[in-house]
Amino acid sequence: MSTQSERLLSCENLTKVYGNHGRKALDSITFSVPATGIFVLIGRNGSGKTTLVRILATELAATSGAAFIDGLDVQRNPNVLREKIAIVPQEARTVPWMTPLQTVSAYLMWRGFGYNEARRKGMTVLEELGIGSYANALNRTLSGGNRRKVLVATVMASEADIIFLDEPTTGLDPISRREFWDLLRKVGKERFTFLTTHYLEEAEALADEIGILDHGKIIRIGTLEELRKSVPYNYALNVPFAERLQQPAVQNGEVVRDTESYRVLTTEDEAFRISRELSRGGFKFSINPVTLDDIFFYVLNRMGGGSSNGGSNGTEEERGRPRRVTGDY
């Protein structure tokens, strides 16, 4: 068994094609990340996140290419890997007529634990997650956030080295989602957690490393600070669409047009100049330091996957190859 610091999760030209029409959910992706802490994969709906998780968790066969976890080939050693990993799929739901304790202990017995040990470990984890008092309540009586905690309790109690969580906070209200983040931080300290989400603030709050997936390709990987350095501007000026509003004229920066607003990535001085013009026109706007949300739109636009705007779509080399962010763009 390799040590925690030596563990890697890697993919080599991993491809998944669905159907007779050849739709590529994953398109020859190649990357490698340390299997420590929390790795968050972000992307729009349909970008390929769930397909990648299912392949890595040995639930789905790739069309071509290879993936390795801790030195083991995912395709060739699925049974060995299943002893090391646990997953909460995006579509996972608790069984309404079971209790949290029954849910966790049944999962552990399925993984090979004895009845008494499964109940003991199940109760311990439920108490650690703050829902021990609901151990014998029916799942259908729990809040959405607590039902999600029950699902995470199953994989925590399993003692798996690697946990996959596919969009675990989808459908939760903002308060429950932030409570859930505290839980995920705890999990990430104890074992490698591979998490997918389309909530960019979630990645910003949780990730040790972040990957951006779009149209089946991983186009950026890095820490949040490394991703920030890939954007050559420090400020984002957000201007909601309004009647009579034209795209802001930018002397130093780039404009990214999303579904509801113009997003101007620029310098502090230029943001101040544009804001004065918008104020004179009576338009609403906000100015903030660049966030992961801004980075995401900027990167997709540069790779040719964003909404139309006046900025560059990048070179063919940029559009064609995934790469690790190192601060140089």
293-311 residue pLDDT tens? 888 888 887 766 544 343 3
Are residues 74 and 55 in contact, defined by beta-carbon separation less than 8 angstroms?
Answer: yes
Give yes or no for residue 261 having a pLDDT over 50. yes
293 CA to centre of own chain:
13
pLDDT score recorded for residue 38? 95
Give yes or no for residue 284 having a pLDDT over 80. yes
Burial class of residue 110, CB neighbours in 10 A (0-12, 13-18, 19+) = exposed
The overall average pLDDT reported for the chain is 84
Give yes or no for residue 51 having a pLDDT over 70. yes
| pLDDT band, residue 263 (cuts 50/70/90) | confident
Give yes or no for residue 314 having a pLDDT over 60. no
Q: Give dist(CA 125, CA 30) in Å, integer.
A: 36
Q: Which two tokens stand for residue 84?
A: 């090391």
* Reported pTM: 0.81
pLDDT digits (tens, 9 = 90+) for 96-139: 999 999 999 999 999 999 999 999 999 999 998 889 999 999 99
Which whole number is the average pLDDT over 48-55? 93
pLDDT score recorded for residue 195? 93
**How many other CB atoms sit within 10 Å of the CB of residue 138?**
15
pLDDT score recorded for residue 321? 37
DSSP three-state, residue 250 = coil
Q: DSSP secondary-structure letter at 141?
A: G
pLDDT score recorded for residue 316? 32
Which whole number is the average pLDDT over 227-231? 85
**How many other CB atoms sit within 10 Å of the CB of residue 105?**
25
| pLDDT band, residue 317 (cuts 50/70/90) | very low
Amino acid making up residue 242: A
How far are the Cα atoms of 85, 104, 105, 124, 267 from residue 120, in angstroms, in the given order?
A: 21, 10, 8, 6, 57
Which whole number is the average pLDDT over 202-218? 92
Q: Which domains does the chain have, with CATH numbers?
A: 4-226 (3.40.50.300), 229-316 (3.30.70)
Block residue for tokens 């650690």:
128
Q: DSSP secondary-structure letter at 51?
A: H
pLDDT score recorded for residue 117? 95
Give yes or no for residue 26 having a pLDDT over 90. yes
Are residues 216 and 271 in contact, defined by beta-carbon separation less than 8 angstroms?
Answer: no
Give Cβ neighbours of residue 274 (< 8 Å, ≥ 6 apart): 237, 248, 250, 264, 266
Edge-to-edge order in the sheet of strand 286-289: 253-257, 261-266, 235-240, 286-289
Q: DSSP secondary-structure letter at 299?
A: H
Which whole number is the average pLDDT over 136-153? 91
Block residue for tokens 């839980």:
183
pLDDT score recorded for residue 65? 95
Q: Report phi then psi at 169, rounded to 5.
A: -105, 10
Are residues 147 and 94 in contact, defined by beta-carbon separation less than 8 angstroms?
Answer: yes
